[in-house]
Structure 1
Amino acid sequence: MELDNNIQLRPKFEQFSPKTIGEIKSTFEKVKTFEAEDFKFQNAGNHIWIGVGLFRREFWSPSLHIELDSYEDGRTYVKGIFGPDPFLWFIFLAMHFIVGGLFIVFGIIAYSKWTLSQPYDFDLFVMSVLSIIWLLLYFVARLNRRKGTAQMRELFSLANKIIA
């Protein structure tokens, strides 16, 4: 899995497993007992969440969500997606929506002032600052993903123990 040159902030993987969903879940329970100190495990239905344990967790620590779909021939289709802590992801998305919403509002105000032949330099300045903030948010997310790459590889390795 290529993590370093991927533009996605939330890398994904897809693969087939020769095991059934029941076999994967039983393997999950076995791995869960041995790795409980280093990792955090949750499951509900055909979904498995694996995260970094409490004592090793950092601000940028990733989590892995695995979705299992069964096929008629007994194989299981596995989809995994890496991401930050759900609360951190919510804050990150909220900041993006706020910056985007303010950009649109100041764009509307600037257009209105332009049509009324009023000065709109301040509005364009604010829109420029909001664009820079948006780029900074993106680069902070990339930096956090780069810091969490080693832990992502650990989670992927653990997922392969469960799936394969």
Structure 2
Amino acid sequence: MSLDKEIKLRYRFYKVSEKSIPLLLENFAELKEKLDSDYKVKILDNHVWLSIGMLKREKHSPQLHIEFEEMEDGKTAVNGLFGPDPVLWTMFMFLHFIVGGTFIIFSLICYSKWRLNQNFNFDLTIMLSMIVCWVALYLFARLNRKKGIHQMHELEEIINKII
């Protein structure tokens, strides 16, 4: 898996398992009891969330969401999605909405001042600073993802043992 070279911030994967969904869920339930302190496992229907435990968790620690789907030939399709901690993801989305909203508001003000032949340098400065903030948020997200790649590999090893 080339996690280091992926452009996407949230890495997805697809695998096929010979095991049935109930057997996979049972294996994850056993794993939940074994790895209680190092990893956190949540199971709901055909979904499993696997994350780093509180003792090893960092702000950049990933979370893995796995969904099981039964295939026609009796095998199980395993869809996985690595992502950041939901609290961190919510904060990033909130900051993106603030930056985007500020950019739109100041672009409207800038356009109005331009049409009225007034000075709009301050508004352009704010718009450019919002672009810089957006790029900084993106780079910070990439840096956090890069720091969490070794933990992504840990989670993937656990999944490969079970699947």
- Per the TM superposition, whether the score is higher than 0.5 is yes
Alignment of 1:91-110 (within 5 A): 91-110=91-110
| Offset, 1:128 | 0.5
| Offset, 1:15 | 1.3
Amino acid at match of 2:100: G
Whole-Å separation in 2 of the counterparts to 1:156 and 1:50: 10
Whole-Å separation in 2 of the counterparts to 1:42 and 1:33: 11
CA deviations 1:53-112 (Å, max 9, x no partner) are 110011111110001111121111111111111011000111011101111111111111
Amino acid at match of 2:108: I
Partner of 1:4, secondary structure, is helix
Q: CA RMSD in A?
A: 0.9
CA deviations 1:103-156 (Å, max 9, x no partner) are 111111111111111111111100000000000001111111111110010011
Q: Which runs of 5+ in 1 are unaligned?
A: none
Amino acid at match of 2:29: E
Whole-Å separation in 2 of the counterparts to 1:126 and 1:10: 30
Partner of 1:141, secondary structure, is helix
Misfit runs of 4+, over 2 Å: none
Q: What does residue 116 of structure 1 align with?
A: 116
Q: What does residue 47 of structure 2 align with?
A: 47
Are 1:23 and 2:23 an aligned pair? yes
TM, length-normalised to structure 1: 0.96
Are 1:132 and 2:135 an aligned pair? no
Amino acid at match of 1:100: G
Q: What does residue 14 of structure 1 align with?
A: 14
| Offset, 1:162 | 2.0
Q: Percent identity?
A: 48
Comparing 8-17 with 29-38, which one deviates more in the overlay?
29-38
TM, length-normalised to structure 2: 0.97
Q: What does residue 80 of structure 1 align with?
A: 80
Partner of 1:74, secondary structure, is coil
- Equivalenced residues, count: 163
Q: Which runs of 5+ in 2 are unaligned?
A: none
Are 1:33 and 2:28 an aligned pair? no
Whole-Å separation in 2 of the counterparts to 1:49 and 1:5: 24
Q: What does residue 144 of structure 2 align with?
A: 144
Amino acid at match of 1:87: V
